[in-house]
Structure 1
Amino acid sequence: MSRFSLEQTAETDGFNGPEPVVPVTSVQKVEADGMQIFYRSAGDVTAPALLLLHGFPASSFMFRDLIPRLADEYRVIAPDLPGFGFTEIPKDRKYSYSFDALANTLAAFTEALELERYAIYVFDYGAPAGLRLAMAHPERVTAIISQNGNAYEEGLGDAWGPIRKYWAEPTPENRDVLRANILTFEGTRWQYTHGVENPESIAPESYTLDAALLEQPGNKDIQLDLFLDYASNVKLYPNFQEYFRRAKPPLLAIWGKNDPFFIPAGAEAYRKDLPDAQVQFLDTGHFAIETHAVEIAATMKEFLQANGIVRDVGEVPGR
């Protein structure tokens, strides 16, 4: 398995002095849980680790602007969850697409990379998968950054209506409603642009890539299975909340306040169990990272540093 280290060189352009060193993001695969897990990584391997967990219908591609903004101080790792992006699952693996399974795969992934301590950035689907991981290994999680990653009933917006109906009545008819209205190019684009002041500012390759990957044979049924299993996450909310009270992880909830799926009340609710949680709202939608990557990166760094998640003083970066 290959490892990536940050280049430390800087050159002068002859006019403005030394050019800033921009961390380079590598793309790799590692075998874990019987599959080839695709992931993006950057930063020095000796730096504190950040595990970035994407949501539906995205992949680690959603972190393309965030990773280099964090990797000058942290080792940043972003995997593609099974059923998303470029992670490859052998057909004979007979993978069961559930949030329990996603969490088990994440656990195997972190062990394959020998990650013993890490902060987690959870978004959308990444939240229930990542929080399962945190409950199983609370000693490993140094902090949680939740960007529209819900853990409270009051955080579920009206956009969940058709999916809630599917939970209550998992009929072929209700399944087909979701297939026809959510698992389409326009449905994917809407998730990226709704609540954004200037929808045309959203890079089209983001939702276009997601939509193209959804069209892979069998993928829409995978997503429909996960829609149905999302009800298991709601049932686990009390367990997540008990984990917060018991483990008391430092938590930053940074939220696109115009998100129709996970509404601001979900961010505020973290303070019920973590009174010191930091909550910040951004004037954007579900995919806040598409419009506010600079602000999110800066806030994350301040939050992590304030909670002592920094490279040890005097530590020499690895090569």
Structure 2
Amino acid sequence: MKNVRLIGTLALLSRRRFAFGLPLLTAGAAISQNASVANAKPGSKAPIVTYHRTRTVDGVKIFYREAGRKGAPVVLLLHGFPTSSHMFRNLIPELADRYHVIAPDYPGYGQSDMPDRAKFAYTFDRFGELVDGLLDQLGVSNFAMYVMDYGAPVGWRLALKHPERVTALIVQNGNAYDEGLKEFWDPIKAYWSDHSEEHRTALYKLVTPEITKFQYTDGVSDVARVAPDNWVHDQALLDRPGNAEIQMDLFYDYRTNLPLYPKVQAYFRKHQPPTLIVWGKNDKIFPADGAHPYKRDLPKVEFHLIDTGHFALEDKADEMVPLIRDFLNRKIAS
């Protein structure tokens, strides 16, 4: 009996201590929360969340990164070779506080499907159709476009098909004029001339680790600002079985972009889309010779040559992001 009474007494004391201590715990939590709020920096905001999603368009799984409020003005980010929407991973959160940002991967790139080339045409026409289909599925009717490298011919196809939908252009090392195809393109032009196996074989060097790294580091004054993860990531995807052949198909199909240039230039002259040029001036693949001609057809273009190479965002985002945000805030912000 003594043991039973002792146990009952201890239980009663425990309940009283818990009941007494609970307000103190609650108060302590409130004090801690208030202290966190008090210590927060003025004007600080919650981190931007980027979502990694897929949609099936015409039977092809298309991966895309998405961030920002739906209903906000849309900014479409179109990547270049040999990368994917990965190239925009740092830019997306810099824009998504005010814009709805969408960055897809083309088939054969990034996390999108890589269909058998015997059953799927790896062409810029097809890429344009699939991006257009993705935008339709997402309910996007108007958008600004950031185009870079391969993203330019994909974007130009969208603009020619839906000129009324394009609210603004940001062009970074992406051609719309013949002046931009210099010495780097000579082996590719040789392949265009005869579609021979000899000239095709010569292009395999363009998908080697050395050239992939070159694209990120050439023309960059401080390579320490460029994450080596970039060329490791891209090369791993290039090295997938069958991917090199896909890239050769696209090198050959790039010839179809040149006849579009006069139509694109006519689009510029007629519609005068607000345009920002942020171009890596040391790029040997798309040199600055291809940037200047935009001024002929877009007299109000905002023109900036950046002291870097091909993938300018990798080391010059601190210079480019303020230009991009200022441009978008003036031209498309609601």
Letter in 1 for 2:147: V
Number of the residue aligned with 2:203:
178
Pair 1:264-2:304 in alignment: no
Give the TM-score taking structure 1 as reference length. Answer: 0.90
Pair 1:47-2:72 in alignment: yes
Secondary structure class of the residue paired with 2:71: coil
Number of the residue aligned with 1:7:
none
For residue 254 of structure 1, the aligned residue among 269, 273, 278 is: 278
1:270-309 aligned at under 5 Å gives the runs 270-307=294-331, 309=332
Distance in 1, Cα, partners of 2:159 & 2:40: 48
Residues 92, 163 of structure 1: alpha-carbon distance in 2 compared, 3 angstrom cutoff: closer
Q: CA deviation at 1:82?
A: 1.1
Number of residue pairs matched by the alignment: 299
Q: Which moved more, 1:14-23 or 1:167-176?
A: 14-23
* Contact preservation (8 Å) 1:255, 1:282: yes
- Indicate the structure whose relative CO is greater, using CA pairs within 8 Å and at least 6 residues apart: 1
Q: CA deviation at 1:252?
A: 0.8
Secondary structure class of the residue paired with 1:304: helix
Pair 1:104-2:129 in alignment: yes
Highest Rg: 1 or 2?
Answer: 2
Number of the residue aligned with 2:250:
226
* Contact preservation (8 Å) 1:254, 1:267: no
Letter in 2 for 1:139: E
Higher share of residues assigned helix: 2
* Contact preservation (8 Å) 2:76, 2:143: yes
Structure 1 runs not aligned, ≥5 long: 1-10, 312-319
Root-mean-square deviation (CA, aligned residues, Å) is 1.6
Distance in 1, Cα, partners of 2:312 & 2:272: 26
* Contact preservation (8 Å) 1:259, 1:286: yes
Number of the residue aligned with 1:118:
143
Distance in 1, Cα, partners of 2:69 & 2:333: 12
Distance in 1, Cα, partners of 2:135 & 2:240: 27
Distance in 2, Cα, partners of 1:148 & 1:92: 28
Pair 1:61-2:86 in alignment: yes
* Contact preservation (8 Å) 2:107, 2:115: no
Q: CA deviation at 1:213?
A: 0.2
Number of the residue aligned with 1:8:
none
For residue 73 of structure 1, the aligned residue among 91, 98, 105 is: 98
Distance in 1, Cα, partners of 2:117 & 2:203: 28
Distance in 2, Cα, partners of 1:115 & 1:190: 36
Q: Which moved more, 1:19-28 or 1:124-133?
A: 19-28
Secondary structure class of the residue paired with 1:225: helix
Q: CA deviation at 1:266?
A: 1.4
Structure 2 runs not aligned, ≥5 long: 1-35
Number of the residue aligned with 2:181:
156
Identical aligned residues as a percent: 47
Letter in 2 for 1:184: T
Distance in 2, Cα, partners of 1:173 & 1:160: 16
Q: CA deviation at 1:136?
A: 0.1
Residues 92, 256 of structure 1: alpha-carbon distance in 2 compared, 3 angstrom cutoff: closer
